Structure formats: C-alpha cells, structure tokens
Structure 1
Amino acid sequence: MDLTPFLATSTVIDSDHPSVRRLAESARRQDQLATIQATYEIARDKFAHSYDIDAMEVSISASDVIRHGHGICFAKAHLLAALLRSNGIPAGLCYQKLARNHQRPAGTCLHGLNAVWFEGCWRRLDPRGNKPTTDVPFDPNYERLAYTIDVARGERDYRDVLAEPLHSVLKALHGSRTVFELARNLPPDRS
C-alpha cells in the first residue's frame, strides 16, 4: 500500500504549518505508539468540540483549530491527521453517517474521525472529545469510537480511509459563517 498520500500536507491538513509543527513536536515520544497516544490525547482533550462550548467560529484546517482552540469533529480530525503526519506517521480520515438526536434539521449527518497506520494496518481513532455521555480512551488493541452505529436508525460506518476530506464536508465548512449555521449545513451522507 502506498502511504505517501497519508503523509502529505495540504491546505486543510496543514502539517507543515508552524503552529502544527510546534504542537506535533510537543507530542513526539520515544516510540511510535507513545507518540500516537500523546497526539491523540492532545487533539481529543486540549481542543474542545465547538458544540460543547457554544463556539461561533468555524475551524476548517488543523491550524484553524489551534488558533481558535476548538473545532467540530471534522476539524479535530484534520488536526489529528496533521499532527500525526507532521511526526511522519501516516494518518487519514474516516466518516460515519449518524442519526441526529433531537436536533434540527432531523435526519442524518456525517461524523468525522481518523485512522492511523500502525503495525501494518489502519486503526481508527475518534478525537471528538470526551463529555459526560462520551468517553473515548486511547486503546491500541480495541477500537473505541464516540458513536456506536445503529443500522435500524439509518446509520452507517464507512470503513474506507481517505487522505483528504470529502468535498461535501469542505463545502459545508467553507459555506458556513458560524458553527450554528454549520449545524444546518452538515452533509447528510457521503454523496
């Protein structure tokens, strides 16, 4: 498998941005697993999920998340991918289709998370951030994600790993002036 695209920098996964490089360096440890864990915990815990703190700014790139101090799931996934890539660890993006719980508009929306290449395979990590109803500890041997898929509610787990964000995700992020507007513009699925 060619992992080159999963190490590349881009405008969204801006692993070469000075603020991203500094933060990635602070997470670097003696071995790869410890670096992955430290990086994951920084992305999950140091940067709030925008909805949890009623933030207004829409973060898109990894450096945006660092500058604003928060991001929704997509932006936090961009941050984790950029930090890992900055340390030479292949990382990609994954998506889940989730049913909206008591939100308007009703229906489904995408949720963004990550995959990291470790010991010859992809391992998914969800940097969404912990809250009273969501606990996502780091576990290299068992997949722990923020959301469990309920197929009966129309939810779906997409298992593929992408090097760059979906066009529909970028369109929603770029087309929203506030996080509250973004909540109405979230893509309902991968199409």
Structure 2
Amino acid sequence: MELIRAHPSITAYTAQSEAIDHGHPLVRSTAADLGAETSDAYTYAQAAYHHIRDRIAHSADIGAEEVTWCASDVLARGHGICHAKSHALTALLRAAGIPTALCYQRLTEDDGTAPVLHGLVAVRLPGRERWDRQDPRGNVRGIDARFSLDTERLAWTVREELGEADCPVLFDAPHPAVLAALRAAPDRRTLWPMLPAEF
C-alpha cells in the first residue's frame, strides 16, 4: 500500500514522547546492545525488529493480564499487545536515529464483526525513497510476519470484503484513542473492548 506522510517534518518521526521513551536508560542500553552486534542501519533495524517480535511476547499469547504501553515498560516486563510492541520497536529504531512511524490496520473477525485497530510500524531507512511497514506482533500458528523491505510480510493482509482496511497515514505519535485505552485499562480483558475500531 502507498503510505501518506502525516507530518511535514521527518524529524517528527525521531521524536521522543511518554510512550516512545527512547531516552530511557533501558531503551538506550537495549539499543546499544543491538548496535554492538550490527554494522549499519539496515542490520540494526532488522535486529531490533527480531528482538521485539521474538523476545518480547504478545500479552495474549502468554496469558498476561497486565497492560504495558510505554516502550521502557514493554522492555522491562517482556510483553505487550501489538500497540505496545510497536511503541517499543519505534523507540529502539528512533534511538538509533532511524525515522519510524506508527501505522494501523482495521481488522475484524472472520465474519466481519468486532472491528479493532491493529498496530504496526513503518520505517524509513537511509537511501530508500519509501516507508516500509513492519509488524512486530509476534508469530504464532497461522501468523508468519517477517522483516522485509521488498514485499510486505505482515501478520495480516486486510480483507476488504469484510470491511478491513489499511490506514494510509503515518502517525508520528500513538493514535490518541489507542494510547488512552492502554493507559486506562486495569487489565487486558478490560482493554479489548476499549480499543478503537476506527482510524
């Protein structure tokens, strides 16, 4: 899909915020460890992606009820839902100076009911004229998301016939309704119906 920049300045996609807290010591130390094992922005981005996809669990996959939302907390606790994992990956990439945006898909159940926003990221690597979406949700049976710059390998491909859709906007900060739900929910079961269904 073609992504549309939502902010006039590329520096907006390297900024720090409460949720994308890439100045936090844990985020900085994790980024430093990944940087020590990589040689350039491309290998660093791939290593950061695999770290979040594979070493940080999706909360639902492990039955964790605690809700994490800021990058440092996700890294400290080792889990988060798709939105929280996207915040963590964004923070690690921005810590290395790589412009990273937050992106969303509107997904539904197989019968088209229960729409909800799914979170992922888009990265702008040096020398590339485009943003490349990456999905750090974490792979389980039926999901095979991968870091890819040629063909998108996301957790899900939208089914337009069910009302699913890719949001073309590049967000420089978390969607306000998503962030509000993450911060307000006392546990994951309460969180699900609080998450927005529209962009």
Pick the TM interval, shorter chain. over 0.9
1:128 to 125, 137, 141: 137
Residue 46 of structure 1 is matched in structure 2 by: 55
Give the equivalent residue in structure 1 for 2:5: none
- CA apart distance, 1:38: 0.4
What is the CA–CA distance in structure 1 between the aligned matches of 2:46 and 2:109, rounded to whole Å?
30
- 2:40 corresponds, among 3, 7, 31, to 31
Report the AA paired with residue 197 of structure 2: P
2 CA distance for matches of 1:52 and 1:121?
A: 32
Same amino acid, percent of matched pairs: 43
Q: CA deviation at 1:68?
A: 1.4
State the match for 1:19 in structure 2.
Answer: 26
Q: Which residue of 1 aligns with 2:119?
A: 112
Matching residue within 130, 146, 161 for 2:155: 146
Contact kept in structure 2, 1:56 and 1:179, CA below 8 Å = yes
> Is 1:156 paired with 2:149?
no
The question of 1:180 aligning with 2:192 is answered: no
In the alignment, the residues of structure 1 paired with residue 132 and residue 45 of structure 2 have an alpha-carbon distance, to the nearest angstrom, of 11
Report which stretch shifted further, 93-102 or 68-77: 93-102
Cα displacement string for residues 119-168 of structure 1 (whole angstroms, at most 9, x for unaligned residues) = 23210000000111101122221111101100111101112211101111
Once residues 149 and 160 of structure 2 are traced to their aligned partners in structure 1, the CA distance between those partners, rounded to angstroms, is 26
Deviation sequence 1:27-86 (CA, Å, 0-9, x none): 222111101100100011110000111101100000110121100000000000000000
User: How many residues were matched structurally?
Assistant: 187
Q: Aligned-pair distance for 1:22?
A: 0.8
In the alignment, residue 112 of structure 1 is paired with which amino acid?
G
Q: Does the 8 Å CA contact 1:57/1:68 hold for their aligned counterparts? A: no
- Structure with the higher fraction of residues in strand conformation: 1
Moved more, 152-161 or 90-99: 152-161
Aligned-pair RMSD on alpha carbons?
1.2
Q: SS at 1:128's partner residue?
A: coil
TM-score of the superposed pair, with normalisation by structure 1: 0.94
Paired residue type of 2:42: L
The residue matched to 1:93 in structure 2 has which SS?
A: strand
Q: Which residue of 2 aligns with 1:67?
A: 76
Partners of 1:112 and 1:100 in 2: CA distance: 16
Distance in 1 (CA, whole Å) between partners of 2:197 and 2:148 is 29
Poorly superposed stretches of 4+, deviation over 6 Å: none
